[in-house]
Amino acid sequence: MLNDATTARPLARLTQSAQAFDRPAARRRSVSMRNLARLSGTVGGGAILGVALLIALWSAVYATRLFPDNLFPSVPAVWHAGVAMWNEGLLGPDILASVREALVGFVIGTVAGVGLALVTATTRGGRLVVQPVLRLLAPIPTIGLIPLAILWFGIGDASKYIVVAVGVFVPVWISTHAGLASTPSDYLQVSGCLGSSRWLTLRKVILPEALPDIVAGMRVGCATAFVVIVVAEMTGTTNGLGYRIAQAQLFSQADRLIVLLVILGIIGAICDQLIASISRPFTAWATEEK
């Protein structure tokens, strides 16, 4: 029979060594958790964490096998579909076509939106005549204009530029008009007391004050541009991401469809961040004042 005291000592030593072995692991765990927390605290880190969680969730649902593979593909299958599309040489030209069409339409829509907002917000004629017409036209869904645009301008680029421009115009015009028309009267009184001309007041007071609203409208317009271009490309065209989405749907290629949607999301996010970054030096004051 073994003495309790003799067995107790090695056991205690074993426990101690086990604790000693566990301590660095625990420390490692806490360090990695701290790093994770630090990473998620940054914008990029947060995005990576969010995407990782989404992939994990997708994989978990896939693992249940509730849906057939061809409708709900695994994450690796989606990745392979993307690589295959890239190797086929389809993705690059399609992305370029969609981005070009969205960009041209976005520029036209933004220029028209800001320009007409200047008319409707700062002139009597614009307020009385142009504004009611635009208010009447603005609620018309842009998607509904696609068939008409194809009828009028054919299936070429022109019809896509037009529908994207109209889609971008509406949010840009509404936001810009709201921004320009709501300049605090204090600022206008100050500029008036200093003898500022109408033109100087517009350039140096009304426009800079409305800039955060204009940028907000542009960001919404940017997102709208990609929605509209995808729908426009689904009809009567042979290139662009929208066309590829329609093709993937036609051939029940869910993996390719998901790749295309992810690409659209990435392009949209990049464009949105680009607008935000370029405009930040001119709109930072709005957050500083709060």
Partner 1 sequence: MDLAVRDLGVTYKGKYAPALDGVNLKIESGSFVVLVGPSGSGKSTLLRCLAGIETPTTGVVTADGSPVVGRDPSRGMVFQRDILFPWATIRANVAFALEAKGTPKRDMEPIIDELLTLAGLPLEVKRQRPAALSGGMRQRAGIARMLAGEPEVMLMDEPFAALDAQTRLRMQDLVTDLWSRLGRTVVFVTHDVDEAIRLSQTIFVLRDGRLAATIENPLPPDRPAGQLAEAVGYSDLRRRLHDELHETIEV
Contacts of residues 3-9 at CB distance under 8 Å and 24 or more positions apart, as own/partner, are: none
- In the list 195, 238, 250, 277, the residue contacting partner 1 (rule: CB under 8 A) is 195
x-or-dash string of contact with partner 1, 197-216, rule CB under 8 A:
x--x---xx--xx-x-----
Does 282 sit near partner 1 (CB under 8 A)?
A: yes
In the complex, the smallest distance separating the C-beta of residue 215 from partner 1, rounded to whole angstroms, is: 12
**CA gap 267, 102 in Å, rounded:** 11
Does 238 sit near partner 1 (CB under 8 A)?
A: no
Q: What backbone phi and psi angles, to 5 degrees, belong to 139?
A: -75, -10
Does 189 sit near partner 1 (CB under 8 A)?
A: yes
- Which among 229, 228, 186 is positioned nearest to 206, based on CA atoms? 186
- Is the Cβ of residue 142 or residue 176 nearer to partner 1 in the bound state? 176
**CA gap 50, 40 in Å, rounded:** 9
- Is the Cβ of residue 153 or residue 187 nearer to partner 1 in the bound state? 187
Residue 283, judged by CB atoms within 10 A of its CB (0-12, 13-18, 19+), counts as: middle
In the complex, the smallest distance separating the C-beta of residue 175 from partner 1, rounded to whole angstroms, is: 17
- Is the Cβ of residue 235 or residue 279 nearer to partner 1 in the bound state? 279
Does 187 sit near partner 1 (CB under 8 A)?
A: yes
> Are the C-beta atoms of residues 228 and 170 closer than 8 Å to each other?
no
Residues 6+ apart with CB under 8 A from 282: 208, 211
- In the list 74, 196, 247, 249, the residue contacting partner 1 (rule: CB under 8 A) is 196
- Is the Cβ of residue 10 or residue 195 nearer to partner 1 in the bound state? 195
> Are the C-beta atoms of residues 286 and 222 closer than 8 Å to each other?
no
**Two tokens, residue 158:** 């022109």
The interface region with partner 1, picked from 7-15, 83-91, 186-194, 243-251 by CB under 8 A, is: 186-194
- Is the Cβ of residue 104 or residue 211 nearer to partner 1 in the bound state? 211
**Two tokens, residue 81:** 């579909």
Contacting residues toward partner 1, per CB under 8 A: 186-187, 189-197, 200, 204-205, 208-209, 211, 282, 285-286, 288-289
